[in-house]
């Protein structure tokens, strides 16, 4: 150790291990980033990426990377608890619900939901089909038992939501299932469904945390993280605690919600890195954006910019969803002359905008404008769409 000039030992100030600056944009490394309109895995908040970069070699106070530490150690347990607390605050989760961090993506939930929830003296689970993901969920659920499809928008090519009068709810159904945002078709329920009777189960994979919720309306709300909440690898399940009693004791261990709840999502090794990033995204939403109400206002503003262009050039752009059922997350449209599609995608790419091709099952264009898509990215796309229509219409 070097001594002071008077021969004394320098006074060392203790580094404050707990201090972390707020998540904020700090550098100019964003220069090479394009505007990424991919449906998922999707754009992440840049300040979150910067925080990961800062901490990837050594998590403050842990002496090692998040990729290297035990899930049973104090440092990770703190990270997981903090992520859970933030989600509880953002979603307004109280004592009635449990938050689980699972793997297997949203698709595993297509099976886990019927496997856990339909056992008991219940009628067939009810499903509302407003797009491709609901259809896939039903395919899996049918393997577990009979299903009652209450509404299916297939005849109109999944361009709409049901009217309230279409929803024939059976109070004795095991549960009532909706997909809050159909990622492929761009059709979205604008708020929480009011339901009396069976527990409402909601696949919120592509609009998780995009607006405030009344979580008490949900029996089970779930989302894979890789669209609106973090990287691929973790799926969040918010489940009403009384429903945990439905998990039969002879289920394969991983498939039982009850097992995961009892073990606080540590029944087996959880996806530690994905949970860490999910926690940072929740921190960004809460402390930087200012919560889900603020996020919702921004999301409405962003989506309006793109839908205004569609409505301004109705002879040129053909929106997929009925205007009243449009998604704030996935803006889907095609060209009245399909030959423009390729050209549009290549002009967009030349202007640093990518990920805009529609899902391979439906084609057309899909602009995914999740929470982390900056307003400037949406403005750039709206401008491009306007110019493109003016030039080619
Ligand atoms: N549900 C919805 C609404 C989705 O958008 C997706 C993925 N695009 C899934 C389920 C399937 O998610 P995963 O790939 O994580 O299984």
Q: Beta strand pairing status for 147-152 and 125-129?
A: parallel
Predicted confidence band at 140 (pLDDT cuts at 50, 70, 90)? very high
Is residue 158 a contact partner of residue 185, using CB atoms and an 8 Å limit? yes
Answer yes or no: is the C-beta of 368 below 6 A from any ligand 1 atom: no
Q: Which residue has the tokens 């040129």?
A: 316
Q: Is the pLDDT of residue 29 over 70?
A: no
What is the model's pLDDT at position 16?
63
Ligand 1 centroid–CA 109 distance in Å is: 10
Measured from the CB, is residue 105 less than 6 Å from ligand 1?
yes
pLDDT at position 14 over 80? no
- Tens of pLDDT, residue by residue over 163-186, are 999 999 999 999 999 999 999 999
> Which of 39, 102, 106, 185 has most ligand 1 atoms within 8 Å of CB, for mutation?
106
Whether 40 is in the pocket of ligand 1, judged by its Cβ within 6 Å, is yes
Q: What is the pLDDT of residue 363?
A: 84
Helix/strand/coil for 35: strand
The structure tokens listed for 4 are 């002071």
Q: For residue range 207-222, list pLDDT tens digits in order.
A: 999 999 999 999 999 9
Share above pLDDT 70 across residues of the chain, in percent, rounded to a whole number: 93
Mean pLDDT of 291-315: 98
Among 227, 284, 302, 325, which one carries the catalytic annotation?
A: 227
207 is catalytic: no
Q: Is 227 a catalytic residue?
A: yes
Q: Which of 38, 82, 35 is nearest to 281 (CA)?
A: 82
Annotated catalytic residue within 84, 133, 192, 325: 133
- How many whole angstroms from 227 Cα to the centroid of ligand 1? 9
Answer yes or no: is the C-beta of 179 below 6 A from any ligand 1 atom.
yes
Distance 295 CA to ligand 1 centre (A): 22
Statement: residue 375 has pLDDT above 60: yes
For residue 131, the ligand 1 atom closest to its alpha carbon is: 3
**Ligand 1 atom with the shortest distance to the CA of 182:** 3
Looking at ligand 1, which atom is closest to the CA of residue 181? 3
Give residue 2's pLDDT: 52
pLDDT band of 7, cuts 50, 70, 90: low
Q: Is 359 in the pocket of ligand 1 (CB under 6 A)?
A: no
Distance 60 CA to ligand 1 centre (A): 33
DSSP H stretches of helix in 92-229: 105-117, 132-142
Contacts for 23-29: CB closer than 8 Å, 24+ residues apart: 23/47, 23/48, 23/51, 23/280, 23/283, 23/284, 23/287, 23/288, 24/288, 25/50, 26/50
Q: Label residue 30 by pLDDT band (50, 70, 90).
A: low
**Residue 285: how many other CB atoms lie within 10 Å:** 27
- Check if 222 has its Cβ closer than 6 Å to any atom of ligand 1: no
pLDDT at 142 over 80: yes
Query: Ligand 1 atom closest to Cα of 184?
Result: 5
CA 36 to chain centre: 16
Find where tokens 């908040």 sit: 45
What mean pLDDT is reported for the chain? Answer: 94
159 band by pLDDT with thresholds 50, 70 and 90: very high
Instruction: With cut-offs at 50, 70 and 90, classify the pLDDT of residue 362.
Output: confident
| Whether pLDDT at 230 is above 60 | yes
pLDDT number for residue 393: 87
127: which strand partners? 149, 177
Amino acid 137: pLDDT: 98
- Cβ–ligand 1 contact at 183 (below 6 Å): yes
Q: Alpha-carbon distance 38 to 368, whole Å?
A: 6
Kindly give the distance from the C-alpha atom of residue 27 to the centroid of ligand 1, in angstroms, as a whole number.
33
Indicate the top mutation candidate among 39, 42, 107 to test ligand 1's pocket, ranked by most ligand atoms within 8 A of CB. Answer: 107
- As given in the structure block, the two tokens for residue 122 are 């219940």
- Looking at residues 338-342, what average pLDDT do you find? 95
Q: What is the pLDDT of residue 10?
A: 57
Q: In the structure, what pLDDT confidence band is assigned to residue 361 with cuts at 50, 70 and 90?
A: confident
Residue 154 among the catalytic residues: no
pLDDT in tens, 242-283: 999 999 999 999 999 999 999 999 999 999 999 999 999 999
The pLDDT of residue 136 is 98
Give residues with Cβ within 8 angstroms of 44, minimum separation 6: 230, 231, 277, 281, 372
Catalytic residue among 203, 207, 302, 325: 203
Q: Where are the beta strands (DSSP E) in 180-244?
A: 181-182, 187-188, 200-203, 220-224, 235-240
pLDDT of residue 32: 82
pLDDT at 27 over 70: no
Q: Look at the chain and count its residues.
A: 393
């Amino acid at each position: 150790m070097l001594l002071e000039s008077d021969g004394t030992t320098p006074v060392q100030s203790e580094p404050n291990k707990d201090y972390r600056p707020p998540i904020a944009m700090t550098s100019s490394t964003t220069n090479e980033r394009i505007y990424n309109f991919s449906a998922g895995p999707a754009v992440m908040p840049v300040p979150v990426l910067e925080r990961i970069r800062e901490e990837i070699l050594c998590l403050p106070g842990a002496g090692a990377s998040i990729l290297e530490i035990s899930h049973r150690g104090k440092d990770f347990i703190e990270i997981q608890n903090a992520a859970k607390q933030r989600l509880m605050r953002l979603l307004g989760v109280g004592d009635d619900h449990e938050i689980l961090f699972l793997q297997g993506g949203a698709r595993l939930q297509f099976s886990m939901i019927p496997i856990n929830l339909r056992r008991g003296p219940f009628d067939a689970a009810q499903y509302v089909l407003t797009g491709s993901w609901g259809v896939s969920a039903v395919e899996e659920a049918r393997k577990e038992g009979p299903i009652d499809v209450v509404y299916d928008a297939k005849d109109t090519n999944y361009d709409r939501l049901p009217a309230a009068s279409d929803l024939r709810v059976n109070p004795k159904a095991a549960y009532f299932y909706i997909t809050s945002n159909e990622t492929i078709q761009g059709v979205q329920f604008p708020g929480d469904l009011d339901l009396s009777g069976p527990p409402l189960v909601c696949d919120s994979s592509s609009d998780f945390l995009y607006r405030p919720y009344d979580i008490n309306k949900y029996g089970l709300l779930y989302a894979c993280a890789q669209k609106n909440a973090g990287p691929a690898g973790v799926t969040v399940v918010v489940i009403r605690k009384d429903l945990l009693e439905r998990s039969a004791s002879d289920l394969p261990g991983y498939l039982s919600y009850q097992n995961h709840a009892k073990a606080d999502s540590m029944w087996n090794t959880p996806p530690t890195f994905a949970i860490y990033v999910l926690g940072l995204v929740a921190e960004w939403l809460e402390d930087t954006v200012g919560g889900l109400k603020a996020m919702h206002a921004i999301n409405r503003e962003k989506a309006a910019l793109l839908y205004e262009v569609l409505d301004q050039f109705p002879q040129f752009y053909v929106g997929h969803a009925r205007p009243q059922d449009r998604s704030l997350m996935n803006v889907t449209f095609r060209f009245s002359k399909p030959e423009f599609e390729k050209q549009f995608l290549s002009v967009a790419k030349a202007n640093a905008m990518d990920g805009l091709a529609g899902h391979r099952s439906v084609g057309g264009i899909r602009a995914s404008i999740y929470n982390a898509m900056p307003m400037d990215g949406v403005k750039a796309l709206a401008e491009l769409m306007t110019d493109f229509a003016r030039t080619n219409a």
